[in-house]
Amino acid sequence: MSVTLTAALFFALVCYVAAMALALIRLLRGPTAQDRVLALDFLYVNGLLIVVALGISFSTTSYLEVALLIALFGFLGSAALAKFLLRGEVIE
């Protein structure tokens, strides 16, 4: 892997981590509960992007399967939280 690509991957990882930090500020500060769920949703998408970038960096497809699992379970988590905000209970 060339120096340019390594530098680009490092830059992207720094960007993702900065984005996660900003979302974490919103999650901690967020005036309402739905703001926090939105920030959590954004956090898992960024974690997924980090895993994909690491998969490029190690040039393996195993990380992509991990990213698939993160997408599935992250959606389950945010959907359950949003449903809880809507109804007060997750399973009716």
The footprint of other proteins (CB under 8 A) covers 1-2, 4-5, 8-9, 11-16, 18-23, 25-26, 32-35, 37-39, 41-42, 45-46, 48-49, 52-53, 55-56, 59-61, 64-65, 67-68, 71-72, 75, 78-79, 82-83, 85-86
Query: Whole-number minimum distance, CB 92 to other proteins, in Å?
Result: 14
Calpha distance 72→44 (Å, rounded)? 10
Q: Which two tokens stand for residue 73?
A: 């379970």
Query: Whole-number minimum distance, CB 72 to other proteins, in Å?
Result: 7
CA end-to-end distance (rounded Å), the chain: 52
Query: Whole-number minimum distance, CB 68 to other proteins, in Å?
Result: 5
DSSP helix/strand/coil, 1: coil
Calpha distance 91→42 (Å, rounded)? 24
